[in-house]
Structure formats: C-alpha cells, structure tokens
Structure 1
C-alpha cells in the first residue's frame, strides 16, 4: 500500500496526467472515420459477431476470407459488437478498454521496479511520456492490432517481474499463455518478451542466468505446444498454414507491401527516434536544470540498471522489425511503454524533490478536485458536440452515407474499373453500410454499379449503358451509382 503522504503529494499530478490523456484519446475517438486497416478489422469483427464468417474463417468482404493476421483480436472485438451493436463507436469502445488496461499495466510495471512507496507514487511520469508519444495518440483511436498485442506483451512482462519476488514457475506459465495471446493477435513479433528473463539476469547480475534461460525456453515450449495442439484440428491448421505462407514468408521475402524509404530497413531507427524525441528533450532539459540546482544525481546512480533494462526491452520489441521492408510507425506501439518507463526512471530523481516539496491540505485538494472535475465536464461537453461528426476522409464518408440511401444494405455491387483500388471507399461501404463491392464481376451479375467519378472507365460504362444500367441522381461528390 502506498504511503499516504507520498500518495497525497503525487495525486494532483496523477489526476492531471490521466485527465489530459483521456481527453486527448477521446477527442480522437468520438468522430466518424478510421484508418484503412482499422476499418477492415472492425468489419471482420462485426461480421463475426453477426454470424458472417467465424473465428477460424474470418470474413471481410467479397468472395474471399481473411487470413492476413491471426484471429484473436477479431474474436475479442466481436464480443463488443455483440454487446454494443454495429454503430461506429463500437471498435473505439473496445480500444478505449485496451488503452485503460494498458494504463494499469504501466502502473503495475512501474511498481515492480522499486519497493519504495515514494517511487511507486510517481507512476504518472512514464504514463505521461507514453501517452503523448505520436503513435500512441494515433493508434488507439484507429483500431490497430498492435495495441491489443502490446497489452498482452506488457501483461506478460509485468507477470514475469512480479514472479522475480518468489521464483515460482506459475508466473512463467501465465506469462507464456499471455505471450501466446500476443502472437495470436499479430504473429511472431509478439514473442519478444521471451528474452526478458535473460536480459534481467544479465543487467542485474543476479547469478541466475541458467534459470533465466530455462524460463525463456519453458515459455517458448508452452507457446509452441499450444500451436502444435491447434495444428491437430483442420480449421486452425488451414488458417495457420495460409497465414504462415502469406504473411510471414511473404514479409521476409519482401513479397508484401514495401513501405521502406531510402533508408530501407533502418527506417525503424528513425521512427524510434521520432517517438522518443519529446521525451528525450524533456529529460535533457530537466537534467540540465537539476545539474544547475545540484539535485538528483545520487538517486539516478542507484537506478541506472533499471534504465538499461527497460531500454533493452524496448529495443528487443522494435529492432527485430528490421527483418521486413514492411514497417510503419505504429508497429512500434508494443515497444513504447518500455522506452517511456526508461525515461520515467531517468526523470524520477530530478522530479521527486520538487513534486514532494509541498503537500496540499484537504481544503486545497478539494478545490483542485473541483477544478479537475469542471475541466473534465467541459472537455466531455466539447467532445459530445464532436461525436458523430466526420474526422477524416470527408468526401468518401459523405458519399458513402449518400449512396447508402439508394443502395440497400447487404447488397452486392459491381465495382467499376478505377474504383477497385480505392480501398478506403470499399472499406467504409462494408463497415458502416454492409455493402460489398465486387471486382471484377460480369455486367448483369448485380443490380448496381459504382464508379469513381474522378477515375472512371468510359468504355466500361458505355457497355453498362448498353446493358441497361442508368446513372442515379444521388448528388454525390465523387462516386457515381448506376442501377439496372
């Protein structure tokens, strides 16, 4: 239990940081619009909840099933669609829950570092660094797989660190189950915590390296055993076989999307530097000020190993991504809590004295709570005004809403040449209107055709006209609907 005096001194900072982060997250979550991948994942989860496709045969749209990622997140999110229905905020509620769990896990991880109540009370420092990292601000409102995987990985590491207190195998087994869940969310990249026991033993020089290696091998064996059991059943075997050849082998061979810049595989290093730039800047500034004031140096000396340990975990979660040319900044989300915790440990010695210098009395605490409460209510009112408004892809979303007034839900629609590469439009049609756009389909195979007014095939539409399709007066901005 945290000492009450330390808790009181740090409580205003805890409330302020949590309030700010919740406001920033919700502000990006209440509006209509998602990143393409998030739209696809939400559509799959919604379809699964409504009986279209299944856990082992996920269905997105058109004639094909979806085997590009393991199905765990789709199954978890499908539960939310069962509860909340298909409205645009269901996937955002899911991700807010994942975000909240991650916040508590960061707190739990911070509390394993140092037994002192004084240290435990300052968990808001790594939370502040993590919450304002660019990819964290962006990923959680956009329904990305990496957020769920990060939660399982962080939970596994918290369990392992807590297990250091009693050296029991139960913690290792639980961590292995959590690592399976991480890998069953987004693949092999979720298994980086396997090296945590060895890294811990080396950094802290605890003389138990052999035991640490055994624990890592045990976790790997448990994860492998679970996959081996799944392989004995036809549906999981079919899923995993397609996923392995399409996603893992394809990614290693460069067959999947190549998102690298002129820096190639070293893009990931630049992305890491971008994520931690603000945190590093703050740490440098506070360090310079502390040197001028001659505070904090002794406390930092005692905690250098903590900084190194979490820094190495963050690098183990991020640098292996260099094996693939398909790397995006949000792939770093599972690594960011550890960089933030390392930064928090660096900052702790220089923040603890100024933040504990004064203890607010009961009267001032009540006034501060009222102030925070009013600020929270005002922020919620402003977000309520933004709820349901369009936050991105304005032209596409407005046309999707207009088209859905003329084309019935669940209708199969021909996607004319030129629209087949507009994946965002097709994803919004599926996620929010349950309208499938098929390409290519022979004319007369569906009652409707949708064409891109900015990239239409006149020859194809001339043939459609000969086959009895006529343009509908939809008043759309870009996309054009033809009906037979």
Structure 2
C-alpha cells in the first residue's frame, strides 16, 4: 500500500516537475518578454511611491499615466517589491508562484467536479505542457494573476451551486463576485465570462442543487453590480476606466489596436496550442490498445461550455494574441482530461500497479529532475532573451547612470522592436526615460548599422566599455538641455510606440 501511495505522489508531481524543467531555468537567466518587464517596472515604481494606484507610472515620456490595463495585478506585485526590494528576482519569483498556484487550482477544480479524483494530476499536466502556458508562466504577464482569481471564483461557484441552504448559495455567489471583480481589476473585461458559470452548473454540474444554482447565479450578478458601484462613483477610478475602455477595449474591437488579423484567427491559434496535449493523450490511447468511446458526459459538457465561454468572445476582437487564450486553457485542459478519462484512468492504474509502469514513472521523475538541474545550472546568469540589451547593459556591469532622460534616434528603432525592448529594460534597471528630444546630454546609439543615426562629434563613449550593438554616449559638450529636467518633455505617441500593427511584437 505504501508503494502504491508513493507512485501516486510521483504522478501528482509530474506537472510541477515539468514546470520546473521548462519554466524555472528560464527565470534564472537574463531576459523576459517585454510586457512582463513593463509590468515589473510599473510595479517597482508603485512600491517606491512613483505613480499611484489609479495613475501607474512607467517613464517620463512613455505612459506617465498607464491606463492600458487595470492596476490591481501591478499593485499586488508592487507589494512584493516593497517587501523584498528592487530585484529582478521579485518578478521572477512572483510569476513562478502564480504558475504553481494555477496548477494547484486546476487540480482542485477537478477534485471538486470529477468522480475520478486520483486523476487530478492529468488536467494540471495537460495545462502546463501547452506551449503558450509555459511561455506565459515564465514571462510575468497579467493573465497569470487573472487565472488564479477566476479559478478561485469558479471553486466558489461550484460550492454555491451545490449548497443546501439559501444563505450558503448567496454567500458563495458573493465571494465568487469578489474574485470576479479582482480579476476585472487585474486584466479588465476578460474576467467577465465567469458570470455565466452558475448557468452552466445548473444544467451540467453533478450533484448540483438547481434551486441553489439559480440563487447563486442571481447572487453573483447582483453582487458584481453592487461591488462595482464604488468604482463608478469614485472620480479617479471612473476616469481610469473611461480611458481603459476607450483606448484598449473599443479600439481593440474596431481594429485600431495592435494586430489586425481576421477575427477567427484566434481559433487557429487555439488549435495550435492544444495539438501537443491532445497528441500526448492519443499516444496513451494507442498504448492502452483497448479502444473505448470517449468520455462525453455531463461533466465533459460543463468543461466544454466553460472553455468556449472564455475563448469564443475573443473572436469579436482583432487583437489575436495567443496569450489571450490563457484564460480559457485551464478549462480546455479539464475538457481534454475528461474526454480521455477512460484512457488516462487505465494509464494511471498501469503506472501504479505494474512494474513496467513503475519503471516508466520513476524514469520520468528521475530524468525530469536531471533536466531541471542541468538546465538550471546552464541558464544561470546567461542571456536568454533581449540579447541586444543584456549583452551591453547587464553582462558588462552596472551602469553609473540613473533616473535620467536620454535621447534616442527613432530611425533605427521603428519596426525592429528595439524601442520597446530598450525602453522597458532601461526603465526597469535604471529608471531611464527615452526621449525624442535629440539634445540631452546622454544619448543612446545603435552601432554598426547603416540605417543608424551617426554619432555627433563631441560625444564620448559612456557605457559600456566594449559595446556590441548599443552604447550610451556623453554629449555634454554639445548638449543644450539638462537631462534631469523633464517637465517640458514631449510625450511619445504611446499607441504608435507600442502597437504598430507588426506581428513582430508577438515575441
């Protein structure tokens, strides 16, 4: 019996071993998706009282008042900066902790709904091996905190729909509304799909109390409205969300923001993401060699409706980033695990009860442990992303320059993603703001490129000593303005700066 229990624990460990094999080594090196660096910069600024909750601050010239996304997720991260200080390990540890929470919550949802509780490792494993998922887990994007809030809200909805007392259904509906609102305050309208979950549970949740499901649905709707009222009547939050809906939501719907692909492109992206987990399940089907019908029951339909309700609304927007699918992928993972339930159950029993299964299981655990050790050792302190920045500004020591406005020439930045990369990392490490004003004392140049702006005479190399692609020059002799004073600085066109319609921005 002890050996059987030990094997079960090894199965439960597989999703977390994969997480640490694929995500953890990436966090030990230098480089992160630019949006993740941007969010970490704003969170660090908030922790140092630079900017406020309703007016988050990025740089003097780009998003001095950031309204692209609601600020709660950034504020939560800022608390960690307040506790642990200004270190890149803060955002890396934060995104890893959220990844672990996601796996635990997916397993918990499975245990609350499915009769096969021993298979709680399966949906978590299917989720974490989805490419966009382990990419997101390593890159500090806001979908990570949103998923945590919405899965907790889902757990309370399940409890509310199975409640025995009216007050319990009302209470659980209210608590789920709180987490819906927390999700909305972290990532905006993506959180709203949670509103329809009690309706699905009314029809398809096993052991649901139908009358209590109705009460839970009403409680969720009214609680969400009531909890939202303070943000409507508070002047600062109303002004923030007015800008958010105008610049982010409306422009995204009409195709004025970011990528303007066909609306149904997101469905193709979804199919691409689930190919790997579905293929793995099909391999298990072939291995079992005892073909049965797929497990398409009420629970499977429930997961299907949850998944569709969180992904199909994306079709109406022209912003078709695969990362937006993150909010639906926990439910697609549950759906796939439920569809292949019979085969996964047989595979689970084979691993636990046979010596060959035990050999495979121990081999997987040992090999993944070695992969974790090898990749972590290999990647530590290496440049893994944004090499143009880190080779010059991280691997060559700390630059003796901070909280300055520095000039840059947009001629070589546009269309290459270099502006966003440079602006984010310089702001993150040195609180430096890139300026279109060409006359600041310190100026950044792209080297060895025929399209680059030439370095004026009178400028001397400031940092680094051995530049590879970028360098900052001290142009004090020909400078006409103080690079600390930014009161009269012209703001960059943020929409043009960040969202130029180039697919290249989807790193």
Coarse TM-score class (shorter-chain normalised): 0.7 to 0.9
SS at match of 1:121: helix
Which residue of structure 2 aligns with residue 221 of structure 1? 222
The answer as to 2:35 corresponding to 1:37 is yes
Task: Describe the shift of the 1:358–1:335 C-alpha distance in structure 2 as closer, same or farther (beyond 3 A).
Answer: closer
Structure 1 CA distance for aligned equivalents of residues 160 and 226 of structure 2:
22
Task: Describe the shift of the 1:208–1:379 C-alpha distance in structure 2 as closer, same or farther (beyond 3 A).
Answer: closer
The answer as to 2:111 corresponding to 1:120 is no
The answer as to 2:457 corresponding to 1:481 is no
SS at match of 1:327: coil
The answer as to 2:395 corresponding to 1:395 is no
Task: Describe the shift of the 1:481–1:152 C-alpha distance in structure 2 as closer, same or farther (beyond 3 A).
Answer: same
Q: Is the 8 A contact 1:412 1:437 kept in 2?
A: yes
Q: Is the 8 A contact 2:263 2:318 kept in 1?
A: yes
Task: Describe the shift of the 1:340–1:6 C-alpha distance in structure 2 as closer, same or farther (beyond 3 A).
Answer: farther
- Which residue of the other structure, out of 451, 457, 464, is the alignment partner of 2:453? 457
Structure 1 CA distance for aligned equivalents of residues 45 and 406 of structure 2:
18
Deviating more after overlay: 406-415 vs 74-83: 406-415
- Which consecutive residues of structure 1, in runs of 5 or more, have no partner in the other structure? none
Which residue of structure 2 aligns with residue 194 of structure 1? 195
SS at match of 2:327: coil
SS at match of 1:144: coil
Using the size of structure 1 for normalisation, the TM-score is 0.86
Structure 2 CA distance for aligned equivalents of residues 478 and 9 of structure 1:
52
SS at match of 1:482: strand
Deviation at 1:403, TM superposition (A): 8.3
Task: Describe the shift of the 1:324–1:370 C-alpha distance in structure 2 as closer, same or farther (beyond 3 A).
Answer: closer
Which residue of structure 1 aligns with residue 182 of structure 2? 181
- Which residue of the other structure, out of 14, 17, 25, is the alignment partner of 1:16? 14
The answer as to 2:82 corresponding to 1:74 is no
Any residues of structure 2 matched to 1:165-314 within 5 Å, and which? Answer: 165-167=162-164, 168-203=169-204, 212=213, 215-260=216-261, 264-287=262-285, 290=288, 292-293=289-290, 297=293, 304-314=297-307
Q: Is the 8 A contact 1:32 1:88 kept in 2?
A: no
Deviating more after overlay: 154-163 vs 230-239: 230-239
Task: Describe the shift of the 1:406–1:194 C-alpha distance in structure 2 as closer, same or farther (beyond 3 A).
Answer: closer
Q: Is the 8 A contact 1:70 1:186 kept in 2?
A: yes
Deviation at 1:219, TM superposition (A): 2.0
Structure 1 CA distance for aligned equivalents of residues 421 and 249 of structure 2:
25
The answer as to 2:441 corresponding to 1:447 is yes
SS at match of 1:293: coil
Which residue of structure 1 aligns with residue 333 of structure 2? 340
- Which consecutive residues of structure 2, in runs of 5 or more, have no partner in the other structure? 477-507
Q: Is the 8 A contact 2:26 2:379 kept in 1?
A: no
Deviation at 1:379, TM superposition (A): 2.7
Deviation at 1:82, TM superposition (A): 1.7
Structure 2 CA distance for aligned equivalents of residues 234 and 163 of structure 1:
34
SS at match of 1:123: helix
SS at match of 1:333: helix
Deviation at 1:347, TM superposition (A): 2.2
Structure 2 CA distance for aligned equivalents of residues 397 and 259 of structure 1:
31
Q: Is the 8 A contact 2:161 2:212 kept in 1?
A: no
SS at match of 2:138: helix
Deviation at 1:419, TM superposition (A): 5.4
Deviation at 1:480, TM superposition (A): 3.6
Structure 2 CA distance for aligned equivalents of residues 389 and 41 of structure 1:
22
SS at match of 1:428: helix
> How many equivalent pairs are there?
461
- Which residue of the other structure, out of 341, 344, 367, is the alignment partner of 1:351? 344
Deviating more after overlay: 89-98 vs 391-400: 391-400
The answer as to 2:161 corresponding to 1:164 is yes
Q: Is the 8 A contact 1:34 1:392 kept in 2?
A: yes
Task: Describe the shift of the 1:128–1:266 C-alpha distance in structure 2 as closer, same or farther (beyond 3 A).
Answer: same
The answer as to 2:318 corresponding to 1:325 is yes
The superposition leaves residues 83-125 of structure 1 with CA deviations (integer Å, 9 ceiling, x where unpaired) of 222222211100111111111111110111234xxx1111111
Structure 2 CA distance for aligned equivalents of residues 250 and 213 of structure 1:
35
Structure 1 CA distance for aligned equivalents of residues 205 and 101 of structure 2:
28
Deviation at 1:408, TM superposition (A): 0.8
Cα RMSD over matched residues?
3.2
SS at match of 1:390: coil
Structure 2 CA distance for aligned equivalents of residues 87 and 341 of structure 1:
36
Structure 2 CA distance for aligned equivalents of residues 372 and 288 of structure 1:
22
Any residues of structure 2 matched to 1:97-112 within 5 Å, and which? Answer: 97-112=97-112
Deviation at 1:277, TM superposition (A): 1.0
Structure 1 CA distance for aligned equivalents of residues 101 and 406 of structure 2:
40
The answer as to 2:420 corresponding to 1:423 is yes
The superposition leaves residues 441-470 of structure 1 with CA deviations (integer Å, 9 ceiling, x where unpaired) of 252xx3211122334334xx55xx4xx544
The superposition leaves residues 133-156 of structure 1 with CA deviations (integer Å, 9 ceiling, x where unpaired) of 011110011111111111111111
